[in-house]
Amino acid sequence: MKGRVLIVAGSDSGGGAGIQADIKSVTALGGFAATAITALTAQNTFGVHDIFPVDIGFIQTQMRVVLKDIGTDSLKTGMLHSPEVIDAVCAVLETEAVGIPVVVDPVMVAKGGASLLSTDAVATLRNRLLPLARVITPNIPEAEDILQWAPGTLQTIEDMKTAAESLKALGSSAVLVKGGHMKGDDLFDVLLDDDGFYIFETQRIDTTHTHGTGCTLASSIATGIAQGLALPQAVGRAQAYVVAAIKGAPGFGGGHGPIDHGHTVSAFEGI
C-alpha cells in the first residue's frame, strides 16, 4: 500500500506548509514522497518574508528524472507562482505523466496573507492546469478567485455546490471546495465527482495553529489516490488526518503555527 507521490510545490523554511508539510503528510500516511521544488520561501509563523524562484528548466528536470526512474502513482501540485511555471509544469504533465492522477492545490495566498500566485497566473491556472487535474482543492476565497466571483459570494453549502459545478466545468475530473472560511462552528467540505456530491462535516477547532492545512489535505488526498483508495475515501481519510493534526498542534511560534503531521507515528516515540 506504499503509494508513490511526486509533489511539485514550494518550500517552507518554517516547516509547516509547502514541500515540508507534503513530505511529512505522505510519509505519515504510509506513502513515498518525491519532490520537484518550484520556489524557496523564507517563512515563519508570522508569514512569508521572501521568495526565491527556482529556474523553470530545473523544475522540469526535477520532475522528469523522478518520473523516468522512480515513477509515481499520483502527483500533487502546490505553489506554482507564475504563468511560466504553470506552463512548464503542464508541459511535463502532458508529455511524461499522461494518465497519472494529479491533485491540484491552487495555492494563492499564504496563511499570513502573502500572495503566492501572481495575478496574471490565475488565468493560466484556470486554462492550463485545471483541465489536467483528477481533483482540485480550493478553499472558498480561491474558488471565488478562480471563478472571478466577488469575494463573499460563497456563504452556504448550496453556494459551494454551485461553485463546485462551475469549477468542474473548467475541466477538472472532480472538485473539493473546502469550507474552512465559512462562519460558525459547523464546517463543510463539498466534493463533486462524476458520481455526484459528497459532503464532509467537521467542527471548528478554536486555535490559531492551522498553518499548512491546505497543503496537508491535498498531499494526503494524493497519498490515498496513490494507494488505490477511491476519491471519497481518500478525502475522508485525509480530512480525519488533518483534524487530528490540528488537535495535536505543538504550539510553536507566535503566529499561525504548524500542525502535528507526525501524530500517526507518535506511538513509536521513545523506542
* 134-143 tens-digit pLDDT: 999 999 999 9
210 is catalytic: yes
The pair phi, psi for residue 210, each rounded to 5°, is: -130, 15
Q: 83-96 vs 56-69: helix axis angle to the nearest 10? A: 20
90 is catalytic: no
Candidates 215, 221, 212, 216; CA nearest to 173 is: 221
* 158-211 tens-digit pLDDT: 999 999 999 999 999 999 999 988 888 889 999 999 999 999 999 999 999 999
Domains of the chain, residue spans: 4-266
- Which fold, 4-266? UDP-N-acetylmuramoyl-L-alanine:D-glutamate ligase (3.40.1190)
215 is catalytic: yes
213 is catalytic: yes
pTM value? 0.95
User: Cα–Cα distances in Å, from 127 out to 24, 101, 233?
Assistant: 31, 18, 28
Between the CA atoms of 11, 12, 18 and 23, what dihedral angle is there, to the nearest 10 degrees? Answer: 80
Query: Cell numbers of 225, please?
Result: 489516490
Buried-exposed string 32-49: b where 16+ CB fall within 10 A, e elsewhere: bbbbbbbbbbebbbebbe
- Options 10, 78, 212, 224, the catalytic residue: 212
